[in-house]
């Protein structure tokens, strides 16, 4: 049984770790897109907290947009089928797009999204993910900017959920296999 309380003891990364990493990557992104415009696209809902830390630390003329794509049901395993449930509100033709993701697992979602976005004629499409779980990759996909690599655990907190819970944890934690009901 998952705990009913919205607190967990196992901290993988603290809020400070995440903010330090956002600063490091924000500076790198600022440098890489110097003199250029940027549309930062967050994937709902998981990437919202990471995106807010990151954009505060990017010193560029940028716009924010959001997309919602789902490849998961309410459990913890990917269905392999991706649907865009909320599309961008902006035109990305000839724009630099930076997709901000919470975690890359099998790679299915971002592989699909980058392909879809590239059909719209953007100047570039890059990926900045808070977490990467490379051991579970099913389609080849490498993020351009990466926060932390994690083992094959089910991660929660800082935007990441289990059945819509734990998104508001101010740190990154994980569920023990016994906590997960498939």
For ligand IMP, which is the closer residue by CB, 21 or 132?
Answer: 132
The site for ligand IMP (CB under 6 A) is made up of 43, 46, 71-72, 78, 101-109, 154-155, 160
Cβ-based nearer residue to Mg ion, 46 or 107: 46
**Reduced to 3 states, what is the DSSP secondary structure of residue 26?**
helix
**Residue 108 interacts with, from Mg ion, ligand IMP, none (CB under 5-8 Å by kind):** ligand IMP
Q: Are 2 and 165 in contact (CB under 8 A)?
A: yes
Residue 43 tokens read as 């994937």
Dist CA 66 CA 52 (whole Å): 12
Contact range with Mg ion by CB under 5 A, out of 3-11, 40-48, 146-154, 172-180: 40-48
46 near Mg ion, judged by CB under 5 A: yes
Tell me which of 32, 59, 105, 152 is the catalytic residue.
105
Least Å distance, CB 106 to Mg ion, is 12
With both helix axes pointing from N to C terminus, report the angle between 48-55 and 15-32 in degrees, rounded to the nearest 10: 60
Q: Which is nearer to Mg ion, 60 or 100 (CB)?
A: 100
From ligand IMP, Mg ion, none, which one binds at residue 155 (CB under 5 to 8 Å depending on kind)? ligand IMP
For residue 157, state whether it binds Mg ion (rule: CB under 5 A). Answer: no
Which of the residues 60 through 119 are near Mg ion (CB under 5 A)? Answer: 102
Known catalytic residue at 17: no
Nearest CB to ligand IMP, comparing residues 60 and 156: 156
CB of residue 101 to Mg ion, shortest distance in Å? 6
Of 154, 157, 110, the residue nearest 15 (C-alpha): 157
> What secondary structure does DSSP assign to 68-118, as a single string?
EEEEE-SSSSEEEEEEEEE--SS--TT-EEEEEEEEESSSHHHHHHHHHHH
Closest by CA to 78, choosing from 47, 103, 44, 108, is 108
User: What stretches of the chain adopt beta strand conformation (E)?
Assistant: 38-44, 62-72, 78-86, 96-104, 124-132, 145-149, 154-156, 173-175
Catalytic residues: 105
> Which residues contact Mg ion by CB under 5 A?
43, 46, 102
């Amino acid at each position: 049984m998952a705990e009913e309380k919205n607190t967990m003891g196992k901290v993988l990364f603290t809020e400070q770790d995440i903010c330090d990493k956002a600063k490091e990557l924000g500076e790198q992104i600022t440098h890489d897109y110097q003199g250029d415009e940027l549309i930062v696209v967050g994937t709902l809902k998981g990437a919202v907290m990471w995106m807010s830390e990151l954009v505060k630390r990017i010193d560029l003329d940028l716009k924010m947009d959001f997309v919602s794509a789902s490849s998961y049901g309410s459990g913890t395993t990917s269905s392999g089928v991706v649907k865009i449930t909320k599309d961008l509100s902006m035109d990305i033709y000839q724009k630099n797009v930076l997709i901000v993701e919470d975690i890359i697992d099998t790679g299915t979602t971002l592989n699909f999204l980058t392909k879809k976005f590239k059909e719209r004629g953007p100047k570039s499409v890059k990926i900045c993910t808070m977490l990467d779980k490379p051991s579970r990759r099913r389609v080849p996909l490498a993020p351009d900017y990466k926060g932390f690599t994690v083992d094959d655990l089910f991660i929660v907190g800082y935007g990441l959920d289990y059945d819509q819970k734990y998104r508001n944890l101010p740190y990154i934690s994980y569920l023990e296999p016994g906590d997960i009901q498939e």
